[in-house]
Amino acid sequence: MTPAAAQSAKTVSRTFTAEGEDGDIVCASFPGPDEVDCARALEYALLATLLLVPPDHEFLSRLSAIEGDGTQLGRAHAALAAAAGETDPETLEREHFRLFVGVGRSELLPYASYYLTGFLNERPLALLRGDLRRLGIEPVSGHTEPEDHAGMLCEVMAGFAAKVYGAMDPAVQAVFFDTHLKPWCGRFFADVERAADCEFYRQFGALGRLFIEIETEAFALPA
């Protein structure tokens, strides 16, 4: 993440502090240089949460308190915060169901297998499961979605950034991102941005798309 983007992401860090008991990311454990990784962890955790479950009143209230700065990411945060202050959980529950759950099939299919092969539960999921086993990573959310769901992948990336999986070579995180998120997650968030019927999920899609672009650029930089 670039310095400007990291500074903007810290606005999320200041708003979404952790209690730890529910599996949240604890920012207080990341002093000094690790503030950037804390900001990344919270950004990924935010994306994961909003993909997996619709926000309730408390979560919307916390979202609406985010203050963006003049960076692209800061403006995206501000736009999402403004949209959060102008909607309600009931509206978002319906829209979340339409976009990501559906009856029979949702408007969007947030799975790597679908975006990379056109079908569900295909080779990308098998490769991902193999990598997760090799790294000793187990999904922690308790959700029943396949591991190649965009929300589950964002959870894994949050864990990498928060060092939940211990001290790993930074190259491992980069390879995981390049293999399992980079080829499709940006396109998926762009589809959310286009398909959403309400301003909140349009802004959520825009934020996700931009953050994946920033991460792609950051991982491409020389170590």
- For residue 114, what pLDDT is reported? 98
User: How far does the chain reach from its first CA to its final CA, in angstroms?
Assistant: 12
Residues whose CB falls within 8 Å of the CB of residue 153, separated by 6 or more in sequence, listed in order: 112, 128, 147, 180, 181, 185
CA of residue 165 relative to chain centroid, distance: 18
Residues whose CB falls within 8 Å of the CB of residue 172, separated by 6 or more in sequence, listed in order: 135, 160
Nearest to 44 by CA among 16, 82, 4: 16
- For residue 143, what pLDDT is reported? 75
Q: Which domains does the chain have, with CATH numbers?
A: 3-220 (1.10.3480.10)
Long-range contacts of 120-129 (CB under 8 A, 24+ apart): 120/146, 121/146, 124/148, 124/180, 127/179, 127/180, 128/153, 128/180
CA distance 70 to 81: 14
- For residue 141, what pLDDT is reported? 56
Residue numbers in the chain where pLDDT is lower than 50: 1-33
- For residue 27, what pLDDT is reported? 46
Global confidence as pTM: 0.87
Q: What is the CA radius of gyration of the chain?
A: 16
- For residue 173, what pLDDT is reported? 96
CA distance 49 to 42: 10
pLDDT tens profile 161-194: 999 888 788 899 999 999 999 999 999 999 999 9
